Every structure is written in structure tokens, then in C-alpha cells.
């Protein structure tokens, strides 16, 4: 999946996107195997046994005329022939019994496959008919989505995190419209998949079970009097969110900080709309009938961040919302940072 270019963006599992787009799946009818052929009985052992008995009888009539020297030898030979013939007979019986058993199993399997084929034919015909009925498609999607999220990764840990002033303010709106469903200060850790993810907020639904992570991205951070820019982290963060979405079966909504500061209700409307899209119900969207749709804003690159820092873009929208009174910056540090961003800007222009 390509990295998004605008805020906000919603990451849904690819399987959910597939369910929402496609109709009721039409099963393929399996091909029946060839009807089992009844195995032929083997009579070699019986023939050998009969011949052996005939030979032994003939020899027994002639044994009187034979000298005593050869008497024991003939008896031993007859005994040896009898053992061989009996062995051949036993193997014949076992082989015929095994073949008969295998034939019965093959017949049973064939009948089961034939019954399954008939059942799949009925399902196929029903699916074809139901795909022409909107209510049937909606019911299928609702059940399929509920079943998918039923197995979403649900083990979370509590961690201590400090929210920004913008996030603290946004919490008030989240609690107002999604009361009792908001979790904060949590961590999702899946050791086998090597996934460690800490969203800013989580909206946890119970029926059906759906976990929705809310992330807020600031253009740059304040560390005391310093400005901190997250460098080369955007792609890594997005890849992690993408993996959490598809491998752990979560939904992730990402806003810019400016969006939740200037339009918190519009941000909540998008969250409500996303929930309704998942649940296929118009429950939360109705709360925002008079609220406009949130406007997209481009995800800033290095040049835009450079301009934001020089113009104190973040400070301005936070101050306009009454969240800060103003911050004192270290001019030398700010100038040093601006030089770095200007250099990056020049490189970008040269590459373009």
C-alpha cells in the first residue's frame, strides 16, 4: 500500500475492504473423482494350495514303493510345499480383505464428496440469487465483518504517557461523543510478530468487537525551549500502522494536530462515520448531521516543515485555540535547525 499524502487517513484491513466491495462469494463446485472400480479377487494362493494337496496325495501313494532312504526326504519336501501353499493362501486372503476394505472406504468417500457437491451446488445457486438482493448482501457483509474482527489482537498493556495540550483538549470531545469507549495510555505488544505500537487513543467497541486506534501527528515537537523534528520516521511509522491493521486486525485513523485543534467535531465525525462504515449502521453519523466533513490537509514534507518552523505555524494554531500563551525559543538552536531544513530543501529542489 502506498504511503498516504493527506491527513486524515484511515487504515482498514485489506480483508474488510474486500468484504465491503465484493458481494457474496459464489463457491466453486468441486469435480467428482472417478467412481471406484471394484478390485478383482486374487486366486493364486488357492491354486497353489490345491496343487500342493494334489502333489502331496500322489506322493503319499508312492511313498510305500520308495526306499527308506528317501522316505524322510519326501516327507520333508511335502511339508515344505504345504507351508508355502498355506502361506500363499494366507497372503491371498489378507490381500483380498484389504482390497475389499479399501473399496468400501473409496465408495464411502465418493458418496460423501457427491453429497458435498450437491450441497455446494445449492449454496452456489443461493449465492447467485442473494447477490441480486441488497438486504442479503448487507447481512452477509455484516456477519463477515463481525467474524473477522472477532479474532483481532486484544492484548494491551497500560503505560504512562503524557498527552500534549491539544490531545488533552481532544479527549473532551472524544468522551462526549464516544462515552465509555475511550482508552488512553496503552501499548500494543505482539512479540512473535515483533510489533510494538502505542496509539494516542483507542476506541474499543464490544458488539461486535472492534479496536480503533486514533493517532495525532504534530508537525514538530517542543522540548523545553528546543524544537524537535521527527526525521526519517514517517515511513517507518506508517509501515508499523499498516502491519498493525492487517496482521492484528485493527483500524487506525490518523489526524494532524492542527485538524483536531481547529476542527475537533469534524474529526469526531470522521471517526463516527468510520465506525458506521464498519458496523454498517448509521448510529454515530447521525450525531454530526449539522457538522461539515473534515477537510484534507497535505502531509508536510521537509520543505513544508522548514517553513512551519520559521513561521511558528504550530504555535499560531495552538495560541489561536487558547491552548498556549506563547513559547520562548532558543534563537541559535532555531537558526541551526532552519539551516538543516534549508539544506534539505535545496537537495529536494535539486532532485526535482
Question: Where are any strands of DSSP class E within 56-152?
Answer: none
Shared domain for 179 and 279, answered yes or no, is yes
What is the total residue count of the chain?
A: 352
Shared domain for 187 and 312, answered yes or no, is yes
Shared domain for 187 and 316, answered yes or no, is yes
Distance, C-alpha 255 to centroid of its chain = 25
Q: Where in the sequence is the domain holding 158, given as residue range(s)?
A: 6-10+154-351
**Residue 215, in any domain of the structure:** yes
Shared domain for 80 and 211, answered yes or no, is no
Residues 326 and 131: their CA atoms lie apart, in Å, by: 59
Residues 48 and 84: their CA atoms lie apart, in Å, by: 8
Shared domain for 292 and 258, answered yes or no, is yes
Residue 188 β-bridge partners:
156, 197
Tell me if 309 sits within 8 A of 337, measured CB to CB: yes
- Going from the C-alpha of 37 to that of each of 23, 94, 99, 184, 238, the distances in angstroms are 42, 19, 11, 67, 59
**Residue 321, in any domain of the structure:** yes
Total-model pTM: 0.71
Q: What is the pLDDT of residues 252-278, one digit of tens each?
A: 999 999 999 999 999 999 999 999 988
Query: What single-letter DSSP state applies at residue 224?
Result: T
Query: By C-alpha distance, which of 10, 86, 15 is closest to 48?
Result: 86
54-68, 100-114, 186-200: least confidently modelled range: 54-68
34-48, 79-93, 199-213, 334-348: least confidently modelled range: 334-348
Shared domain for 81 and 185, answered yes or no, is no
Tell me if 137 sits within 8 A of 131, measured CB to CB: yes
Q: What is the pLDDT of residue 352?
A: 41
Shared domain for 90 and 178, answered yes or no, is no
Give the angle subtended at the CA of 88 by the CAs of 84 and 89, to the nearest 5°: 115
Tell me if 280 sits within 8 A of 188, measured CB to CB: no
Total domains in the fold of the chain: 2
Q: How far apart are the first and last CA of the chain?
A: 24
Residues 181 and 72: their CA atoms lie apart, in Å, by: 98
Domain end, chosen from 110, 128, 146, is at: 128
**Residue 120, in any domain of the structure:** yes
Residue 182, classed as helix, strand or coil, is strand
Residue 252 β-bridge partners:
11, 213
Q: What is the pLDDT of residues 169-224, one digit of tens each?
A: 999 999 999 999 999 999 999 999 999 999 999 999 987 889 999 999 999 887 65
Shared domain for 118 and 158, answered yes or no, is no
Shared domain for 213 and 261, answered yes or no, is yes
What phi and psi, each to the nearest 5 degrees, are found at residue 213? -95, 140
Residues 201 and 215: their CA atoms lie apart, in Å, by: 7
Amino acid at each position: 500500500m502506498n504511503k498516504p499524502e493527506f491527513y486524515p487517513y484511515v487504515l482498514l484491513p485489506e480483508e474488510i475492504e474486500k468484504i465491503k466491495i465484493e458481494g457474496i462469494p459464489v463457491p466453486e463446485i468441486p469435480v467428482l473423482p472417478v467412481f471406484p472400480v471394484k478390485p478383482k479377487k486374487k486366486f493364486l494362493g488357492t491354486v497353489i494350495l490345491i496343487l500342493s494337496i494334489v502333489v502331496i496325495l500322489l506322493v503319499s501313494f508312492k511313498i510305500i514303493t520308495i526306499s527308506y532312504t528317501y522316505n524322510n526326504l519326501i516327507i520333508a519336501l511335502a511339508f515344505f510345499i504345504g507351508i508355502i501353499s498355506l502361506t500363499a493362501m494366507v497372503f491371498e486372503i489378507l490381500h483380498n480383505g484389504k482390497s475389499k476394505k479399501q473399496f468400501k472406504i473409496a465408495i464411502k468417500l465418493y458418496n460423501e464428496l457427491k453429497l458435498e457437491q450437491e450441497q455446494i451446488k445449492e449454496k452456489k445457486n443461493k449465492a447467485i440469487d442473494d447477490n441480486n438482493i441488497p438486504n442479503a448482501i448487507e447481512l452477509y457483509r455484516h456477519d463477515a465483518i463481525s467474524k473477522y474482527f472477532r479474532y483481532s489482537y486484544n492484548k494491551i498493556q497500560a503505560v504512562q504517557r503524557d498527552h500534549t495540550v491539544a490531545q488533552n483538549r481532544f479527549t473532551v470531545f472524544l468522551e462526549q461523543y464516544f462515552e465509555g469507549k475511550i482508552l488512553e495510555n496503552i501499548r500494543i505488544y505482539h512479540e512473535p510478530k515483533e510489533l510494538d505500537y502505542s496509539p494516542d487513543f483507542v476506541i474499543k467497541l464490544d458488539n461486535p468487537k472492534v479496536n480503533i486506534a486514533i493517532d495525532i501527528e504534530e508537525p514538530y515537537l517542543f522540548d523545553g525551549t528546543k524544537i524537535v523534528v521527527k526525521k526519517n520516521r514517517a515511513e517507518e511509522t506508517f509501515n508499523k500502522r499498516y502491519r498493525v491493521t492487517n496482521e492484528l486486525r485493527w483500524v487506525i485513523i490518523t489526524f494532524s494536530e492542527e485538524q483536531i485543534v481547529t476542527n475537533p467535531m469534524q474529526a469526531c465525525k470522521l471517526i463516527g462515520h468510520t465506525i458506521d462504515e464498519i458496523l454498517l449502521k448509521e448510529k454515530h453519523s447521525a450525531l454530526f448531521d449539522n457538522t461539515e466533513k473534515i477537510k484534507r490537509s497535505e502531509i508536510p514534507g521537509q520543505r513544508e516543515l522548514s517553513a512551519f518552523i520559521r513561521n511558528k505555524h504550530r504555535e499560531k494554531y495552538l495560541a489561536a485555540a487558547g491552548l498556549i500563551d506563547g513559547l520562548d525559543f532558543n534563537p541559535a538552536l532555531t537558526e541551526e535547525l532552519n539551516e538543516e531544513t534549508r539544506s534539505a530543501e535545496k537537495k529536494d529542489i535539486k532532485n526535482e
